[in-house]
Structure formats: structure tokens, C-alpha cells
A = this chain, B = another copy of it.
Amino acid sequence: MRFAAFAARAAKQSLSPYEYEPASLRPQDVEIQISHCGICHSDLHLIDNDWSSSTYPLVPGHEIVGTVMTVGGDCSLAVGQRVGVGWQRSACFDCEQCRAGAENLCARQEATCVGHMGGFARHIRLDGRFVFPLPESLDAAGAAPLLCAGVTVFAPLRRWGVVAGAQVGVIGIGGLGHLALRFLRAMGCETTAFSSSPDKRDAAERLGAHHVVSSTSVREVRSNGNRFDFLLCTAPARLDWITYLETLKPNGVLCLVGAPPGLLQIPAAQLLSTQRAICGSDIGSRNAIRETLAFAAEHGIAAQVETTPMADVNAALQRVRENRVRYRMVLTN
């Protein structure tokens, strides 16, 4: 059986129908019939070859929800099970990071749609160890973005010990940021949303923010001086880092999950006298994905999505490019 998908044939091109012969099913593999696939900004970067890593035809898509159709002999999943797949599709299971349960930091990892055919398709075949059972209560469309956007914001909150009562700021209220607000509200944190869009003020409050600050007003940002235990930056934008660092309490942490262009330029003294830290975080381990899904199920958290039939993928991509989606676009089969 050939797999039906949508592929870009060259950088920055529209997607068009594409069929490919999947690799044969290995013992650890699973074949999934895809019902939903979210669109992440990374998919646009891959289509456009922004990271110079793309090969064409390129089938994007790494926020996949579907149903198990076939399993290899060593796979613990069951036919008929509802499952999800995120950014990562393999790891060496042999390096220090893999041994530590941080296979998202494995240097030999492979991504679901880099050099492999991704989730803008009817089916996908991959290692079942990177396929996650979906808790029953989760709606498929609202759960798809949890597999990448969700774990990307959830994992650093756990790793850095963000606890109930903490003051947390979220910069950028989009696909990642809106999920961060929902998680943080459920965690019992007091959250402040920083957004450049005035129309997102009421929306941010509905998503769980206790306070909303205009990220384009230096004065408003400054008025939050010495406030946050943790500041999660989901905006891949060049910000006034010095001003944002001043919003951290002593021992506070600025965590980047979106990659801003250019260099961070920070006076070392700003880190020293207050013991502040700047760090990055990158998706999450398999355990972090399971924790994200379980927490979302427990607290009734889903992404706020727009859905579009996969046949209209190009129109959907265009809406994502124009930042018009509130807050995640999910393609449906």
C-alpha cells in the first residue's frame, strides 16, 4: 500500500498531493491511520528550508493523532488504540542523554518530518516507542497540539520546579503560549501574559491569565519589575531582554522555547547580583509527553484550535503564516 500525503516539492512551494511507499514495518513499528495533524511554525520553516535541513518532496506534520492499524511483533501498542506522535521519531537509546531519560536531547535523534514523511498524510509508519496512547477523555483535535506545542511548554515548567503559587510570566500568546496559560492556571500559579496583540487581552484572561501586559510597551513591561519566579518566552522574536530580565525576582529563570533571531545581548552583571538564569528548552522526553497528556486529561486542558480538512492544507498554512489562527490550526482527515 502506498501512503497518500501532501508534500512540498521544493522550498517555499505550495503543497500538493503525493504518494509514497513506506519503509517496511519493523518489529518495533506501528502504522497509524491519521485523523488529525496540527500545524506548527516549524512546519513552515521546514517547507521554506529556513534551517537548510529540508529535503524534497517534504511531507510536514508532527502533531499527529490517529488510530493504530498495524503493529510490529515487538510493539506494545494495540490495533485500534488512539495514539499521538510529536516532533521526535527516534533516538539511539544508548547515549548518556537517552540513558538519563532525556532522549529529546539525543544527538542521534530523528524528527518525524525531517528526512521522513510526516503527518500531513493519511497514514504514517514509525517506531512505536515514540507513539503515545491518548487518554480517553481528550478530544483528538484539541489533543494534537499537545504532542509538540504542549510538551514544549509543559516540560520546562516541570524541570525547573515551577510550583503552585509561583509568579509566572508567559511571553507570546500563540500556539505554545495559550497552552502555557492553561497549564499554569491548572497548576495554581499566578500568571501574567505578555502579548503584542491588543485583541488578545480578553482572550488571554479567558485562557487563564491573571494579568495581561502589552509586550510592546516598555513602560508596562517595566512595571512588572522583580515580579516573576519564572518567565517562559514562546515568542521567536527579538525582545528587550534586559528589560525582561529585570521582571525576574532574584533566582528567577528566563526560559526560551521559541528561538529569537540574532544574539541575546546581556550584561553579565544583570545575572550576577540577582542570581538570575537564562535557559532554553526543547520539546520534551517521552515521559514528559506522557505527563503532558495525563495532566491535560486530568485538568480538562486542550488546545484551542481551528480545524480544516487536509485537502485545504495550503489555505490553512497561509492562515498560520499570517498569524491569524487562534491558537492552533489542526488538519483533519
Contacts and interface: CB of A to CB of B under 8 A. Distances in A.
A263 interface: yes
A270 B269 CA distance: 21
A270 B263 CA distance: 10
Most buried by B among A102, A249, A266, A268: A268
Interface residues of A, number: 33
Contact of A259 (B253, B272, B275): B272
Interface stretch (A21-29, A195-203, A278-286, A292-300): A278-286
Contacts of A279: 271, 275-278
Contact of A278 (B102, B257, B278, B282): B278
A260 interface: yes
A256 B280 contact: no
Contact of A280 (B97, B259, B275): B275
A251 interface: yes
B266 A263 contact: yes
A135 interface: no
Contact of A272 (B268, B273, B274, B280): B280
A235 to B, nearest CB: 11
Nearest to A266: B264
* Interface majority SS (helix, strand, loop, mixed), chain A: mixed
A133 interface: no
Nearest to A96: B249
A273 B263 contact: no
A265 B268 contact: no
A250 interface: yes
B277 A277 contact: yes
Contacts of A186: none
A166 interface: no
A263 B265 contact: yes
Contact of A271 (B268, B271, B280): B280
A105 interface: yes
Contacts of A96: 249
Contact of A251 (B102, B260, B270, B271): B102
Nearest to A155: B275
Interface in A108-139: none
A265 B274 CA distance: 19
A139 B263 CA distance: 47
B263 A271 contact: no
Contacts of A269: 259, 280
B276 A268 contact: no
Given A277-B279, A278-B278, 6 more contacts: A97-B249, A256-B268, A263-B265, A266-B278, A270-B280, A271-B278
16 contacts: A97-B249, A102-B251, A105-B274, A256-B272, A259-B268, A263-B267, A264-B271, A266-B278, A268-B280, A269-B280, A272-B281, A272-B282, A273-B280, A274-B280, A275-B280, A277-B278
